[in-house]
Amino acid sequence: MEYAILRSGAAMPMVGLGTWTLRGAEATSVVSAALELGYRHIDTAEAYENQRAIAEGIRASGIPREELFIVSKVWRDHLHYEEVLMAARRTLAELRTDYLDLYLIHWPSATVPLRETLVAMEELRGRGQVRAVGVSNFTPDVLRQALALNVTPIENDQVPYHPHANQEPLRLLCQQEGIVVTAYSPLGRGDLVRNEELRALANERGRTVAQLLLRWLTEKGVVVIPRSTSVAHLRENLDVFGWDLDEEVRRLLDSMGAQAA
């Protein structure tokens, strides 16, 4: 495993487990299987309604809490000060933990002042309930506004990121500001894996399309959180270190956003 180092010094595993749409017993068994394979970073959110099931998968694995990197997100309806504190309390209880490694504002709000939400996030950080604060779905403009408020260190932005949703301007801004970027839907929700041109290139190289897509991101220093219910896919998605993309593949993936636009 390789790690992205957050501004606070925490090491964030560069491949995490996405859990959107996983619920109940399926979420529990996927988490157990992933932890068994070596995943240590789990991405969830109060909106996914799977935090209790995830906690059960963690418990079953027997892996100590301090070896895990758990990310959750506060939903867009809970962004007033008191609501953030209450949402975090619920999330900690559901996940059966005292702290989150990273807590994100799931979506920016058009109505609640960003400062108010960030003050609550800073309060949680001060209490030790949250080790690092981040955001999600923040464009470069909104992220700049958040940084200008200077309320709490923003250590992560989680955004859709794959060749058809190329986030190069955001990545460069985050690089300048020392913010780690996480790619959600790194496989284009599974659609990109079926791309014929990519399939041919992957076959020639003894890799899979998913691996080329995940390597394209991790080479840029971007953390990835693919979701899978298949043990074979979970294993494959972890095997993206210790080898590099060649120029032909890198150029094609870099250019696909432009082609799609």
Residues noted as catalytic: 48
CB of 228 to ligand NAP, least distance (A): 3
Shortest separation between residue 236's beta carbon and ligand NAP, angstroms: 4
Q: By CB under 6 A, which span of 75-83, 110-118, 140-148, 181-189 interacts with ligand NAP?
A: 181-189
- HEC profile of the chain: CCEEECCCCCEEECECEECCCCCHHHHHHHHHHHHHHCCCEEECCHHHCCHHHHHHHHHHHCCCHHHCEEEEEECCCCCCHHHHHHHHHHHHHHHCCCCECEEEECCCCCCCCHHHHHHHHHHHHHHCCECCEEEECCCHHHHHHHHHHCCCCEEEEEEECECCECCHHHHHHHHHHCCEEEEECCCHHHCHHHCHHHHHHHHHCCCCHHHHHHHHHHCCCCEECCCCCCHHHHHHHHCCCCCCCCHHHHHHHHHHHHHHC
Q: According to the binding rule CB under 6 A, does residue 203 interact with ligand NAP?
A: no
Number of residues that bind ligand NAP (CB under 6 A): 27
Please choose, out of 55-63, 146-154, 230-238, 241-249, the segment that lies near ligand NAP by the rule CB under 6 A: 230-238
Closer residue to ligand NAP in complex, CB, 125/161: 161
For the segment 47-86, give every residue that binds ligand NAP (CB under 6 A).
none
Of 16 and 247, the one with the shorter C-beta distance to ligand NAP is 16
Of these, 193, 217, 240, 245, which contacts ligand NAP (CB under 6 A)?
Answer: 193
Question: Residue from 28, 51, 158, 166 that binds ligand NAP (CB under 6 A)?
Answer: 158
User: Does 189 contact ligand NAP by CB under 6 A?
Assistant: yes
The site for ligand NAP (CB under 6 A) is made up of 18-20, 43, 106, 136-137, 158, 184-190, 193, 208, 210, 225-230, 233, 236-237
